[in-house]
Copies of this chain bind each other. A is one copy, B any other.
Amino acid sequence: MVSGNPASAPAKESLQQTEHAKNFLPPSKHGSQYGIIKNQAFLPGTAKTIHTRMWNPQGENVETVGRGDGVEKRLNSREDVHSVSNSQNRFPFLENLGFPQLPHPLLLRRRTIIIKHALKIRRSTMRIHINTQELNAGISTVIKALSVRTTVSILEGIYLEASNGWLLLRCTDLSLQIETNVAATVQEEGAIVLPGRLFSEMVRRLPGEMTFIDVKKGTATIESGSFKTTLQGEDAEGFHTMSTVTREHIIKMKCDAFKNMIRQCIFAAAQDDAKPILAGALLEQHEGDLSLVALDGYRLAMRMERIPGGMLADRSAVIPARSLLEISKILPDSDQEFDMIFSKTHVMIDLSHTNITARLMDGEFIKYKQILPDGHKTRVRVNRQELMSGIDRVALMAREGKSNLIKFTFTSDKLTIAANSELGRSHEEIAVDAMGEDIEIAFNAKYFTDVLRVLDEDELYLDMNNNISPCVVRPVQGSAFYYLILPVRLFSGM
């Protein structure tokens, strides 16, 4: 096991190692122009690796790979800074100490070293000054993964860990974990778990510009302006942290593009537990293409994007729709690039100061490609907005019936949308441009509006074969999306 891969180890053994590892943190090195943007535990006494990415004074990334050996020694941070900045990203002080510099096989085109020091964080003590607004922003980010109504009461807390000028905040429900780093003036390093809901609502209302947090013997004193509170914390050792994601595969994506992929896809994931794997979405990389697919047995949504960078190997993973939703809420609306780091069991979204780790779903995803129709006998070009508001109006009547059924009648230049219930009958005509056979086909109104609502295009193609095979919604240009909606069989009298 010593040199084995923790991701492939049996779950129980892996958890024990992680528990053990929490007593140690990577060596700390930073100066005024330096920032550790990721803190990850590593495994003392084994050859497991940890990564600590830093900025050097030139703004370049310096990546270090640490190997745990259980030795606890704290490096002087001022010395580290000078060593790094005086030596063009080399660490001569380590070489002087006898540690060889080796390239690491998992890191491509990056300079790596092995370091052998670990720092033991003093638990249940801490003293920091922090900007209230930044603290609040950090808590708002991590609180999305806070456990609610759990039997593991410590997971209803927020994990705080202060070291090296940063306060690390972390929440997890063991399926999703969000952690973020907020700059802080750290007078004493340490960690504690505070009651999540109460602490977050308090911080949202703190009156002072700065907040002082002082933890002694498991009790946190929080002062801001005229307000002061003491909060009973829980020992940070008891917090369950999700295991570190080994860097088996990395996909680079742009934030706004991935946010859109999620928004335009996950609504089609199953809401019930009939087939658990369908509560997730399949992320597939094939060369430079990335696709996200969700389906629930009645409709399928697929979004495609080109990958701007990262590894080119093929890879697929099923991510819970709920985790994707929280990821999309945290991703900024910019075209900034970020890394998705995959192990066999987890994915980690690396947004510099914020990391989101989601457990992947076990099992095979549905082999959806075999249900995609080959061609079409009718292709209709429609205005998305007109179709959506037409369905919206007619569907009110359909909603009164139990089936929520709307009927489309396509002729060469006209679409008639109709619905009826015991309260009456509605219909609306909209102009379309149809090629191929006339067709009468019925759908659950919700499945159509779900698709039309998330799209931004003015015009769409609807491709159909007959009224018992699925309708495909495609872009007029390109192939960024592909939606498939199963029709409802029509009986006479509709």
Bound complex: CA A167 to CA B231 (Å):
62
Bound complex: CA A394 to CA B228 (Å):
9
Q: Which of B198, B207, B228, B425 contacts A423, CB < 8 Å?
A: B198
Minimum CB distance partner of A399 in chain B? B198
A400 contacts chain B at the CB level, 8 A cutoff: yes
State which of A111-119, A272-280, A427-435 sits at the interface with chain B: A427-435
A219 contacts chain B at the CB level, 8 A cutoff: yes
Minimum CB distance partner of A221 in chain B? B424
Contact (Cβ within 8 A) B422 A390: no
Minimum CB distance partner of A427 in chain B? B228
Bound complex: CA A430 to CA B207 (Å):
12
A201 contacts chain B at the CB level, 8 A cutoff: yes
- CB 8 Å contact bits of A185-210 with B (1 = contact, 0 = none): 00000000001001001100111000
Give min CB distance, A159 to chain B, whole Å.
17
Q: Assuming the A-B contacts A226-B428, A428-B226, are A195 and B393 also in contact, with contact meaning beta carbons closer than 8 angstroms in the complex?
A: no
**B residues within 8 A CB of A206?**
393
Bound complex: CA A427 to CA B426 (Å):
61
A232 contacts chain B at the CB level, 8 A cutoff: yes
Interface centre among A389, A392, A393 (most CB of B within 10 A): A393
Contact (Cβ within 8 A) A202 B423: no
Give min CB distance, A197 to chain B, whole Å.
9
Interface centre among A229, A394, A400 (most CB of B within 10 A): A229
Q: Which of B198, B397, B423 contacts A397, CB < 8 Å?
A: B198
A227 contacts chain B at the CB level, 8 A cutoff: yes
Give min CB distance, A196 to chain B, whole Å.
11
A230 contacts chain B at the CB level, 8 A cutoff: yes
Contact (Cβ within 8 A) A397 B229: yes
A396 contacts chain B at the CB level, 8 A cutoff: yes
**CB neighbors of B among A277-314 (8 A):** none
**B residues within 8 A CB of A425?**
229-230
Q: Number of A interface residues, CB 8 Å?
A: 32
**CB neighbors of B among A404-455 (8 A):** 422-430
Contact (Cβ within 8 A) B426 A393: no
- CB 8 Å contact bits of A154-170 with B (1 = contact, 0 = none): 00000000000000000
Contact (Cβ within 8 A) A424 B231: yes
**B residues within 8 A CB of A228?**
426-428
Give min CB distance, A409 to chain B, whole Å.
14
Contact (Cβ within 8 A) A226 B430: yes
Bound complex: CA A426 to CA B220 (Å):
11
Contact (Cβ within 8 A) A201 B396: yes
Bound complex: CA A230 to CA B422 (Å):
11
**B residues within 8 A CB of A227?**
390, 393-394, 426-428
Bound complex: CA A231 to CA B227 (Å):
60
- Taking A198-B396, A198-B423 as known contacts, 14 extra A-B pairs with beta carbons closer than 8 A to each other, sorted by chain A number, are A198-B397, A198-B400, A205-B389, A207-B393, A226-B429, A227-B393, A227-B426, A227-B427, A228-B426, A229-B397, A229-B424, A229-B427, A230-B425, A232-B422
23 example contacts (A-B, Cβ-Cβ < 8 A) are as follows: A198-B396, A198-B400, A198-B423, A201-B396, A202-B396, A202-B426, A205-B392, A205-B396, A207-B389, A219-B424, A226-B390, A226-B428, A226-B429, A226-B430, A227-B426, A227-B428, A228-B426, A228-B428, A229-B397, A229-B425, A230-B425, A230-B426, A231-B423
Top 10 closest A-B pairs, CB basis?
A229-B426, A231-B424, A227-B428, A230-B424, A205-B393, A230-B425, A232-B424, A226-B428, A227-B393, A226-B429
